[in-house]
Structure 1
């Protein structure tokens, strides 16, 4: 009986702690979301936002009347789709040979890749490299220098090593090449880790900020995080007015515009995450432990 009571008390404490951690994690975004759809004048009173105070989407209406945000969205989507595809393809092409035990020198190459996780070339050498390659003010400057992440490659390599060797041996007996084995056998059974690595790369590209500041100069190549930075440094109403959008300043506030922009920037990733979540835990656990 005592053990049962203690067990229930401990479980209750753990549930409370988990609820508290969940609230601390989720409330900031909930606050931003509720603020963005609240009546701007009533929202200025401050305090905690659990439900909207009134209802207004005027901030979103003004936001999506400016051409700059569509340019930023387009560039960020390009980085997300093209950049993630390039990253995943080249990471798989490097991870697969290193997962084959009979590949000579694979340990040395893996150690060299691991070395890059500990020591980087630095900001100035990286800038000079991008400049020397003629990639300045190009979205490719945000993709090519980081084509392969050593950490992601190691996770994928370990996952490939967990696949039964009999699959590859059977394909070799049938005369399949290594590329055929990778594309038709390894990749289809490795979707959990591929989806996980794609999520890592995708989030990195969507939130790309520091590299974009270094390498992007023109407004036509601006990404969503940079647009958000410019918004927070000035006001969205100023940007909307400069873009020729009619703004009723009595019905909107700078804070509401900022909250609306934050919601618009993070919403796509929040929508995409549930579709990838089922692969996430399996991919990261197997890729980290096996090997």
Structure 2
């Protein structure tokens, strides 16, 4: 069907706006990448835009050799991996029974969970509760309160609800119990929602900032996000690094080190996303039920 003039105008406007929005997100990232790989004199002179000038890795070398970025990176990996695994297990085990029609009281439990989305305890009561349980200065203070996200549970429960009943009945006829049915039938069919929620949880834990800043007092347990934020906040970052290794980092700038730190924060999520992207668009249910 041939597109009308109004359709062409709409498509042109739509593509133009999407392109501008995409560039507004991409250009700042390209600028940070360029700063992290550029020579110090180019950064000082303001010649760096979206393409590196000089192409060198001194900023990264100084960042990894003279700051606590590696311990902070390890802390972030611990927080993200353990938190994501625990959250996905808890979310799955909560959503599955709520999706079963024969689960007694599932409507009551669902309404109780939705109620928690409308009201919050506030920062100070939450802090006092965490302190009362002895979770301050422990990563459990990050994991336990975020173990179950009501929105994620509702999304997964809805996906489980959409699995055709014929599949459930076929599994029951083959003698599947609840655990076997969940692990061998439901979860393989639910990879799109599992991948999506895994990415949401991983990004949330990786970007943990306020909770770490409030509940973690030991600087040795700071994650990468807090460490990089403090580095960016301090204008004296280069002088502090030079005090540790004087004369060895004359060819770097504070802006270059900060940019390198930002890239260390961003790169892991950019690496993980392509591996999960295919599940977002994969029609895993297509053809699973044949008439």
Tell me the TM-score normalized by structure 1.
0.90
Structure 2 CA distance for aligned equivalents of residues 107 and 48 of structure 1:
58
The match for 1:64 is 64
1:165-220 deviation line (CA, Å, top 9, x unaligned):
22222222333221221111111111110010000000000000011011111122
Mapping of residues 1-291 of structure 1, within 5 Å: 4-46=4-46, 49-66=49-66, 68-234=68-234, 235-241=236-242, 244-246=244-246, 248=248, 250-281=250-281
Structure 2 CA distance for aligned equivalents of residues 84 and 247 of structure 1:
43
The CA RMSD measured in Å over matched residues stands at: 2.1
User: Does the Cα contact within 8 Å between 2:209 and 2:225 map onto a contact in 1?
Assistant: yes
Q: Offset at 1:66? A: 3.2
Cα pair distance change 1:40/1:181, threshold 3 Å: same
1:56-108 deviation line (CA, Å, top 9, x unaligned):
21110101113611111111101111110000000000000000112121112
Structure 1 CA distance for aligned equivalents of residues 231 and 96 of structure 2:
43
User: Does the Cα contact within 8 Å between 2:91 and 2:152 map onto a contact in 1?
Assistant: yes
User: Does the Cα contact within 8 Å between 2:47 and 2:53 map onto a contact in 1?
Assistant: no
Q: Offset at 1:272? A: 0.8
Tell me the TM-score normalized by structure 2.
0.90
User: Does the Cα contact within 8 Å between 1:90 and 1:148 map onto a contact in 2?
Assistant: yes
User: Does the Cα contact within 8 Å between 2:30 and 2:51 map onto a contact in 1?
Assistant: no
User: Does the Cα contact within 8 Å between 2:212 and 2:226 map onto a contact in 1?
Assistant: yes
Q: Which moved more, 1:248-257 or 1:206-215?
A: 248-257
Q: Offset at 1:279? A: 1.8
Gaps of 5+ in 1: 284-291
Cα pair distance change 1:71/1:3, threshold 3 Å: closer
Structure 2 CA distance for aligned equivalents of residues 117 and 31 of structure 1:
38
Structure 2 CA distance for aligned equivalents of residues 115 and 206 of structure 1:
27
User: Does the Cα contact within 8 Å between 1:65 and 1:245 map onto a contact in 2?
Assistant: no
Q: Offset at 1:163? A: 0.6
Cα pair distance change 1:225/1:3, threshold 3 Å: closer
Gaps of 5+ in 2: 284-291
